[in-house]
Each structure stands twice: as structure tokens, then as C-alpha cells.
Amino acid sequence: MRLDYFLAHSAGLSRKEAKQLISRGAVTVEGEVRPKANLQLRDGQGVWLHDQPVQLPGHRYLMLHKPAGVVCSTDDPEHRTVLDLLPVALRQDLHPAGRLDRDTTGLVLLTSDGQWSHRLTSPNHQCDKRYRVSCADPVSDEDLQALRDGILLRGEDSPTLPAKAERVGVDQLLLTIREGRYHQVKRMLAARG
């Protein structure tokens, strides 16, 4: 990795700012004063800015309780986003790993690690997603069994994968799914009336 690229990403600078600091002698590499901006760094090679060591930041993983009315997006012109709930200094490079509907509350994971996010959200990795659902009407044994068997949603050609469904109150259930179809939980329950 080039020194100017490394410095820009580790110190939150533009490439131009990094090059200026390097040319002014504010940067050293393993004791080498005034290295060139295009110097290719080796793994583990120490870099100092103003006599302070710098290193690339690692990926970040945050847990956030999303309130109703907030969207799971990085940008939305009409609604508050999950990133709007964070201090500005924490927002850089974060995105939600998965989504909850705007009117749904609960745990949202935010990360700067795209590969990790993909492993959580891709149906191919079959990562369980658990929801506590409050229904307008009581949940019957037949409703639970239908959720466990898989439900053909309106406009779809194949039923949902079997879900884990457990009643925790007359009108409440814990529902665990492995897919992430559009409004899947709401549509599964709507299909049951």
C-alpha cells in the first residue's frame, strides 16, 4: 500500500493533505525522514505522523436499538436514518447489516465490514433472524404450524422457508426466519389473517 494512501486512511486526511504532510517532513517510516508519498509500505512497517504512531483503523461493529420512525438506511431525504442516531464522528463508513421496517423497533447491527455484513444478510449463509411479534388478534395453533411449514406469500412463486414459531402470549410470538424477503414477517402474518 502506498504511504499517502495509508496516511489518508489512517489519519482521516485527503490524499492531497497526506502528500503535503509527507513533503513537509511531518511523516517518518521506520525512522526514514522525508519518505516519498508513493513509497510502498510492507506489512507491519511503522509510520509516524508528528512523532505519533498511526495505523489503519480496523472494522467497526455497533449494536443499536432502532426506534419506530427511523429507517435502516445510510441516507434518506424524508426520514431519520439509523446513522442519524449516532454522533457524527462514528458515522463514517458504517452501514446497517440488514434492515428493519420503519415502524419496527429492535436491534440493528451497524458495521464498516462489508464481508461480515454479507455473511449475516445473505440467504446463502442461513443466518437466523429473530423477531418478537405483537399481533392484533390471538395466534392460533394452526397459525403457528403454518409459519413452521412455510407460507406462500402474495405475488411469490415459492413458499417461505420453514420458520421457528413460538407463542409467548395470546397475541405474541417469537418468529425466527432465515430469509429476508421484502416485509417478510408482516406478509407472513398477513397471509394468516
144 half-sphere exposure, CB direction, 13 A CA radius: 15
pLDDT 10s digits, 33-46: 889 999 999 888 89
Note the pLDDT of residue 56. Answer: 82
Query: 91: which 3 cell numbers?
Result: 458515522
Q: Among the residues of 36-128, which ranges form H helices?
A: 88-91, 114-121
pLDDT 10s digits, 80-112: 999 999 999 889 889 999 889 999 999 999 999
pLDDT at 31 over 80: no
* Superfamily covering domain 128-193: Alpha-L RNA-binding motif (3.30.70.1560)
Name the architecture of domain 58-122: 2-Layer Sandwich (3.30)
Give the active site residues.
101
pTM over 0.75: no
Q: Determine the Cα–Cα distance for residues 5 and 13; give it in Å rounded to an integer.
A: 9
Element (H, E) at 21: helix 15-23
Q: Does domain 3-54 have CATH number 3.40.50.620?
A: no
pLDDT 10s digits, 47-76: 999 999 998 888 899 999 999 999 999 999
Average pLDDT estimate for 165-182? 93
